[in-house]
A = this chain, B = another copy of it.
Amino acid sequence: MVTWLDDVTAKEIRTRSFELAVGERSVPGLLWTPPQGAEAGPLILIGHGASGSKSEGYVVALARGVVRMAGMAVCAIDGPVHGDRRLDGVQSGPLPFLQFSQVWANDPTVTDAMVDDWRAVIDELSKLPDVDGTNVGYWGLSMGTILGLPLVAAEPRIRAAVLGLMGLAGPTVERLRADAMSVSCPIHFLVQWDDQLFPRERAFELFDAFGTTDKILVANPGEHGAVPDAAFKASAAFLIDRLGQAAHRVN
């Protein structure tokens, strides 16, 4: 069951917030679309990184950019132990980061739960007149790849994905390897050349593992958090281009 909360249209962008019940969990989300009355367009999902949330700066900027440039719908939900899933009101910083590290290491169900949450979100948003839930893109770096790659591998409605700032490493490395090998959609993969959290050699192994040959690796200098603006823009353009092509093939 979904509960729609705020619904605000400003500067030609409509922003809705919602809570979606998935089993015992309540999944907090944001949906950005063109103003009311637009035709059904492709849907882009954004999975934020650890220590962030669905409403952090780069997520909102990316979402609004996609709506403005391409008229597509964009949805972000909070990840586990992040954002409005927390009862303590902490929205960012080291505490959610640390807690996610612990959950990732100790709770093997966390990945499946996030995949389930995203799939329920696609199901729910597909009911809206302005969302084409059969033509979906995924965008997520770092924790957004740790939890998003399994979604991309599992979900045939996802036609293209931006992943990165992550490698074959961490507690779920074997699952990530297997999921990477089963990915068949186009992948735009971002690497930070001097990434201190996930060294580039591990990122190269993940890029190598992707089952699709329609993949591109884009590396920028700098540490984990130093993704340049141009890389956000180019990765969004990749999704817009690929989902636009898919829409064109269907119509």
Are B217 and A219 neighbours in the complex by a CB distance under 8 Å? yes
For chain A, residues 32 to 75, give those with C-beta under 8 angstroms from any C-beta of chain B.
none
Cβ-based interface call for A85 (8 A): no
Are B217 and A213 neighbours in the complex by a CB distance under 8 Å? no
Q: How many residues of A contact B (CB 8 A)?
A: 17
For chain A, residues 227 to 251, give those with C-beta under 8 angstroms from any C-beta of chain B.
230-231
Cβ-based interface call for A193 (8 A): yes
Q: Mark A171-203, 1 if CB is under 8 A from B, else 0.
A: 000000000000000000001010000001000
A200: chain B residues at CB < 8 Å are 204
Distance A207 CA – B218 CA, assembled complex (angstroms): 12
Name the residue on B nearest A231 (C-beta): B216
Are B221 and A218 neighbours in the complex by a CB distance under 8 Å? no
A217: contacting residue among B208, B215, B218, B230, CB under 8 A: B218
Are B219 and A216 neighbours in the complex by a CB distance under 8 Å? yes
A215: chain B residues at CB < 8 Å are 221
Distance A230 CA – B213 CA, assembled complex (angstroms): 14
Cβ-based interface call for A26 (8 A): no
Are B221 and A219 neighbours in the complex by a CB distance under 8 Å? no
**A45 CB to nearest B CB, Å:** 23
Which residues of A are at the interface with B, using a C-beta cutoff of 8 A? 191, 193, 200, 204, 207-208, 213, 215-222, 230-231
5 pairs, CB–CB < 8 Å, chain A vs chain B: A193-B217, A213-B221, A213-B222, A217-B219, A218-B219
